């Protein structure tokens, strides 16, 4: 059974009479909608293939890559135990091990990697993660002018993203008072700047505050006075 031919909504000219400007604009919009409909259909047709390739080809490669990196981290740790290194080289090696271990632990939690991180950082991974998550939460609240709430599970990036989306959606649906034509134009310009700033914040806020948490963490500071100063900063 063949599918019925879709009904055309475009306006056709009659008896050689040219279309009006509004009719031409209508036809143009209908054409754009049709192009988007075809694009959507193409994506829907391609999605199962993409999912199949992801699970059958790319996911196994990523798992293998992670497994090899995990082996490499423990190899670095064992090499550090065997080799005679200068204090500077040992500190550099420890920082590399912490960075790699932190990136591999993931949401499932890898206790062996956590122990390795704790060994070379002189800190605690779970505590550092909580500090980093709090910094991230505060940064997002400040950047977007929202309150994410105290009940948010910061360990789940999916929950954080969902809560952020809900808050921003509710914020966008709030009516704004009319301020006349000039005020509307100023508001539009301000809104564009704000949207650009929010987009930039969304791209960089996590990386910035990851580095900030690492730089400010008092447990990694060897100087007593500097450690006390950083402790005060982290408690604000």
Over residues 122-170, the pLDDT tens digits come to 999 989 888 888 888 888 888 888 888 888 877 777 777 788 888 888 8
Decide if 25 is inside a domain: no
Same domain, yes or no: 63 and 146 = no
Whether 28 maps to a domain, the answer reads: no
Give tens-digit pLDDT for 80-128.
999 999 999 999 999 999 999 998 987 678 899 999 999 999 999 989 8
Statement to judge: residues 222 and 169 lie in one domain: yes
Coil, strand, or helix at residue 236? coil
The tokens for 21 are 């400007």
Task: DSSP for 146-202, please give it.
Answer: ----TT--TT-HHHHHHHHHHHHHHHHHS-----HHHHHHHHHHHHHHHHHHHHHHH
Instruction: Indicate the pTM of the whole model.
Output: 0.53
DSSP-assigned letters across all residues of 44-102: HHHHHHHHHHIIIIIHHHHHHHHHHHHHHHHHHHHHHHHS---HHHHHHHHHHHHHHHH
Query: Are the C-beta atoms of residues 81 and 97 closer than 8 Å to each other?
Result: no
Residue 114's pLDDT is what? 94
pLDDT tens digits along 4-35: 555 566 667 666 677 777 878 887 888 888 89
For residue 202, pLDDT beyond 60: no
Residue 200 pLDDT class (50, 70, 90 cuts): low
Q: Does one domain contain both 96 and 155?
A: no
Do residues 153 and 51 share a domain?
Answer: no
What's the confidence (pLDDT) of residue 20? 78
Residue 74 belongs to a domain: yes
Domain span at residue 138?
A: 124-173+185-236
| Residue 109 pLDDT | 80
Asked if 125 contacts 118 with a C-beta cutoff of 8 angstroms, the reply is yes
Instruction: Answer yes or no: is 46 within a domain.
Output: yes
| Alpha-carbon separation of residue 69 from 76, 95, 104, 210 (angstroms) | 10, 15, 8, 21
Which residue has tokens 């005679």? 84
Residue 92 or 207, more confident? 92
Judgement on whether residues 107 and 151 belong to the same structural domain of the protein: no
The total of structural domains in the chain comes to 2
Residue 226 pLDDT > 90: no
16 part of a folded domain? no
Contacts 24+ apart (CB under 8 A), 205-208: 205/136, 205/139, 205/140, 205/143, 206/136, 208/139
């Amino acid at each position: 059974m063949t599918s019925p031919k879709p009904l055309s909504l475009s306006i056709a000219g009659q008896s050689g009479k040219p279309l009006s400007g509004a009719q031409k604009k209508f036809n143009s919009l209908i054409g754009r909608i049709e192009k988007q409909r075809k694009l959507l259909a193409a994506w829907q047709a391609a999605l199962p293939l993409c999912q199949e390739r992801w699970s059958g080809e790319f996911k196994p490669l990523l798992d293998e890559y992670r497994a090899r990196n995990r082996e490499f981290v423990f190899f670095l740790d064992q090499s550090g135990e065997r080799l005679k290194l200068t204090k500077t080289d040992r500190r550099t090696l420890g920082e590399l091990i912490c960075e790699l271990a932190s990136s591999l632990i993931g949401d499932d939690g890898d206790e062996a990697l956590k122990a390795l991180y704790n060994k070379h950082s002189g800190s605690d991974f779970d505590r550092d993660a909580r500090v980093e998550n709090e910094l991230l939460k505060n940064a997002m609240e400040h950047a977007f002018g929202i309150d994410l709430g105290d009940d948010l599970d910061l360990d789940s990036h999916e929950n954080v993203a969902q809560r952020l989306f809900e808050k921003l959606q509710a914020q966008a649906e709030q009516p704004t008072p009319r301020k006349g034509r000039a005020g509307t134009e100023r508001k539009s310009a301000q809104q564009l700047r704000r949207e650009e700033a929010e987009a930039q914040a969304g791209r960089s806020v996590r990386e910035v505050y990851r580095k900030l948490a690492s730089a400010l963490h008092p447990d990694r500071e060897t100087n007593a006075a500097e450690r006390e100063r950083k402790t005060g900063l982290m408690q604000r």
